[in-house]
Amino acid sequence: MTTQGGRSRKTKSFFHVIEVDTPVTRRDFIRSVAGTAVALGTFPLISNAADTKRSAVDRVALGKTKIQITRLGMGTGSNGGSIQRKLGEENFVKLIRHGWDRGIRYIDTADNYKIHDLVGKAIKGLPREELVLLSKMKWGNSPDVNKELDRFRKELGVDYLDIVLIHCVTEAGWPKKLQKMCDDLAAAKQAGIVRAVGVSQHSIQALREVAGNAWVDVNLIRVNHNGHHMDGSTGKWGEPAEVSTVMDEVKKIHGAGKGVLGMKLVGNGDFKNAEDREKAIQAVMKSGCVDAVTIGFKSPEEIDEAIERINRALNG
């Protein structure tokens, strides 16, 4: 029904009846019909791709795992965790909560950082199902994996861990040397104690044994724009990195369906120049082979800066 003067109009379609108090324009009618069609699954609403902005806090797929992770994660291991521990409980909790309030849902920690208890306090009361929690296990002295995982969970105050990595592997042949540890972590995954397993490595030799390794779900790799503290030939700290070799391997790892996480984006905190931080984030975000990244923060301002730089890199 239509009345002149525009007080009340009814327009019928085979979807529904639209009733409004103002004249219905052709554009309004098309939008209403399109919206109903989408709701009924009849056809997709066409949107302008240019209007879709990507963000540092978007949830993205982590390889072939079932884990959806925010592109940016909060690291807790700057200088072995000393930077974050020095903040003290109150400031560390405020830092983690600031990241949470900004939308970050991924926290990277490790037994070596001696900070599990502080992380546990920082995440207490937050919705566990929204959080992706990664920790790392030392591989020396043949650890009792089940005992260590029980301790990790108790310290962190959680029932399960999303990702557990073997920490800082440098030797060639590590899959065979650490076979029992790998098997025990796989059993823990089967039991639902962890959701995904993998490795972080600090040498080219160890890196080369990731892409073809069926056990690895997730790989944590050092990556930035100029190779600062990236993997080298021996695994020694600070050695010259073989950037092209590293990136070739990372592309293979990503292509094999492994989840790829980047670290050392700000060069272990050495990129004091804002231009270097910008270049590093631009390079990693545009690499096409890194799913998400960890940055170790010590202030809310650093979190805000990283989000701004990542958003710019994603949409530039």
19-41 confidence digits (pLDDT tens): 334 444 444 443 443 444 334 33
CA distance 227 to 133: 27
Helix (H, G, I), strand (E, B) or coil at 297: coil
**18 shares its domain with 119:** no
Pair 119, 247 in one domain: yes
Average pLDDT over residues 286-312: 97
- pLDDT value, residue 268: 79
Q: What are phi and psi of 173, to 5 degrees?
A: 80, 15
Instruction: Give the pairing of strands 292-296 and 72-75.
Output: parallel
| Same structural domain, 181 and 295 | yes
pTM of the full predicted structure?
A: 0.83
Same domain, 199 and 261: yes
pLDDT at 266 over 70: yes
pLDDT of residue 51: 57
Write the CATH number for 252: 3.20.20.100
Please tell me whether residue 21 adopts helix, strand or coil conformation: coil
As for how many domains the chain has, the answer is 2
How many whole angstroms separate alpha carbon 177 and alpha carbon 141?
Answer: 12
Regarding whether 18 and 76 lie in a shared domain, the answer is no
Whether 171 and 36 share a structural domain: no
**Which residues lie across from 133 on neighbouring strands?**
107
Reduce the DSSP state of residue 153 to 3 states and report it. Answer: helix
**Range of the structural domain that residue 29 is part of:** 9-46
Pair 154, 298 in one domain: yes
The verdict on 23 and 78 lying in the same domain is: no
Indicate whether 4 belongs to any domain: no
Q: Any idea which residue has 């440098």 for tokens?
A: 170
Q: Which of 15, 104, 127 is nearest to 292 (CA)?
A: 104
Q: Per-residue confidence at 312, pLDDT binned at 50, 70, 90? A: very high
Please report, for residues 114, 229, 275, 302, the alpha-carbon distance to residue 240 in angstroms, rounded to integers and kept in the order given: 28, 8, 21, 27
- Reply yes or no on whether the pLDDT at 106 is more than 60: yes
Mean of pLDDT values over 253-266: 95
Say which residue the tokens 């695994």 belong to: 235
- Find the distance separating the first CA and the last CA of the chain, reported in whole Å: 49
Q: What is the mean pLDDT of residues 6-27?
A: 39
Q: Which of 246, 258, 253, 170 is nearest to 206 (CA)?
A: 170
Residues 30 and 69 in one domain: no
* Same domain for 305 and 275: yes
Q: What is the separation of C-alpha 195 from the centre of its chain, rounded to a whole number of angstroms?
A: 14
The answer to whether residue 1 is domain-embedded is: no
Question: What integer is the mean pLDDT of 131-155?
Answer: 96
Which tokens go with 173?
């042949």
